[in-house]
Amino acid sequence: MKFLNTLLFVSLCSFSFAQQKTNLIGTYTLNKTKTDFGQVPQWVIPVKLKVINNDGKITLVRTVTDQAGTASDRTLAFGNNTTIDYNSPSGAKNKATVQFGDDRSTLTLSQTSTDASGQPGLSFKEIWSLTDGGKNLQVDRHVEQPDGLNYDIKLYYDKQ
């Protein structure tokens, strides 16, 4: 009986801990002081990321700016799917895939594109992970451009 009580106690503690575990749902703002942009212009990096969970349907909202500093939101609504096809404002055809880690504290976002003429476009892979006990988001981004330029950048976001 003592063994069963101990087992029940450990199980309840484990369940409680799992419930309290942080996840990626939330809004994050780019921390420009921690991010090393290297040769990448700052305007190509999303200034804000938002992860929304609506009954298990995931939506990612990326706030980007253009060279003039005008902000706009790019929304990827995955619904019950892990892969979606969508067209960008430039006419490019994109395929985006999202995959959460088992505990929802990591996310991999991959995207490939084909420009309006059918030629390969920009592709990237991002690995999102929480740091500092869920207070910050680190994004490891690998980009391959059609002109052969490839780069890696580590982005830091603060949770709002």
Q: What is the pLDDT along the chain (160 residues), one digit of tens a residue?
A: 443 333 333 333 333 333 334 588 999 999 999 999 988 899 989 999 999 988 878 899 999 999 998 999 999 999 877 899 999 888 899 999 998 888 777 899 999 999 988 999 999 999 999 999 889 999 999 999 999 999 999 999 999 9
pLDDT at 84: 95
pLDDT at 123: 96
Superfamily of the domain at 22-159: Calycin beta-barrel core domain (2.40.128.20)
Q: Give the SS3 label for residue 149.
A: coil
pLDDT at 57: 86
Token output for 5: 């009580």
Give me the torsion for CA of 117, 125, 44, 119, rounded to 10°: -10
Q: Residue 158: name the closest of 34, 22, 8 by CA.
A: 34
pLDDT at 134: 87
pLDDT at 7: 32
pLDDT at 22: 53
Q: Which 8-state DSSP code applies to residue 120?
A: B
| Extents of the domains making up the chain | 22-159
pLDDT at 9: 36
Sequence-distant contacts of 58-65: CB under 8 A, at least 24 apart: 58/98, 58/100, 60/98, 60/109
pLDDT at 19: 37
